[in-house]
Every structure is written in C-alpha cells, then in structure tokens.
Amino acid sequence: MIFRNLAAMLLLACAAVAAHGDSLGVSQPVALTSDTLPPVDHVVVKKTERRLYLMHGGNVVRSYHVALGLFPVGQKERSGDFRTPEGSYRLDARNPRSDYFLSIKVSYPNPTDLKRARARHWDTGGSIMIHGLPNLMKHDPDYYLSHDWTDGCIAVSNADMVEIWMLVPDAVPIDIDP
C-alpha cells in the first residue's frame, strides 16, 4: 500500500509538471483511479512492436511505447549482451529509489535462461527492469523516447512509468515476446 500512496503522489507531481510544460514525456495531467480501470493481471511486451501492454482477462487495458536494449533482436543470453530477454517471468520487486525514474524488477533469469547459460558457461546477467528515464541523463530527453538505449531493460517515459507503477500489482506475470 505504501507504494500505491507514493505512486499517487508521483502522479500528482507529474500532473503539476505537465501543467507547466515538460520535455520528459508528461504532456497532460492524467486522471487514474482504480475505479476507472480493471485490475491488471498480466503484462505483455512485444519487442518488434516496441509496445508494452497491460492486460486484464486477455484484453488490453493500456498500451505504451518502450525502448529496449541496445541490441534488441534475439534472446538475452548473457551479461553484457545488451539484449532484452524473451520468455515468461514475473514482476517481483519495486524500487522507488532507482537510478531511473522508478523501476519494477523482472524475474530474469528464469530456469530456462539459467540452463541455457550454464550449458555455455556464461553468466546470465540480471537486474532487468521496467523503468522510466535515467535520473542523470547523458542525452537530450527526446533521444530516450526514440531510440533503444538500455542495457537490456524495458524503458518507458516517466509519465508512463507512473501509470504502470500504479496499475500493476506485485507478482504479476510478464511475457516478453520477440
């Protein structure tokens, strides 16, 4: 519950920033309540579409543009390959104090990822997250919204990250498809 309260405060802050113009993807105040949307029971990422979908009962509740790892084509195989994993995972931890604007951890590596990496004597890597923009940006904000730039994570605008943070409950399954 503490995360939901934090997210509500962040949403209000983003709405205030939006009212004064924001170059980080917050363009209009967003009105979200749990009464207006069904609960999210699944997250799907379609890498080739660069889309993240929040789902309820097989129906799309919300859809977001995403940026992926620097080399997004193919399955993540090891640490440092700059690929976004493909497979079935869970969203298993939240970090409000991330190096990025909020983050939710993806349970990568799963048993299949571990088996594949061990067979090749590779380190799977980890710390795959859904997150917003970097807190310390090295590029113009528009760059992050139009290029793949992560080490393998799934990045969204800060405004979208607030919505995702608020709408996605803990331990929700996530499928990352090619």
| Angle, helices 2-19/158-167, rounded to nearest 10 degrees | 150
For 4-60, the pLDDT digits (tens) are 445 454 544 444 334 333 434 443 444 455 567 889 999 999 999 999 999 999 999
**Whole-number Å distance between alpha carbons of 17 and 153:** 26
Helix or strand holding residue 129 (H, E): strand 129-131
126, burial (CB in 10 Å: exposed 0-12, middle 13-18, buried 19+): middle
In percent, how much of the chain has pLDDT > 90? 75
pLDDT value of position 167? 97
**Whole-number Å distance between alpha carbons of 133 and 150:** 10
**Whole-number Å distance between alpha carbons of 100 and 150:** 11
pLDDT value of position 35? 62
Percent helix, percent strand, percent coil in the chain, to nearest 5: 25, 25, 50
**What letter would DSSP give residue 100?**
B
pTM for this predicted structure: 0.81
Average pLDDT score over residue span 99-119: 95
For 153-162, the pLDDT digits (tens) are 999 999 999 9
Q: Which fold has domain 2-22+39-177?
A: L,D-transpeptidase catalytic domain-like (2.40.440)
In percent, how much of the chain has pLDDT > 70? 80
Residue 146 has pLDDT above 70, yes or no: yes
Please give the span between the terminal C-alpha atoms of the chain, in angstroms, as a whole number.
34
**Whole-number Å distance between alpha carbons of 109 and 106:** 8
pLDDT value of position 30? 45
pLDDT value of position 27? 39
Average pLDDT score over residue span 96-112: 96
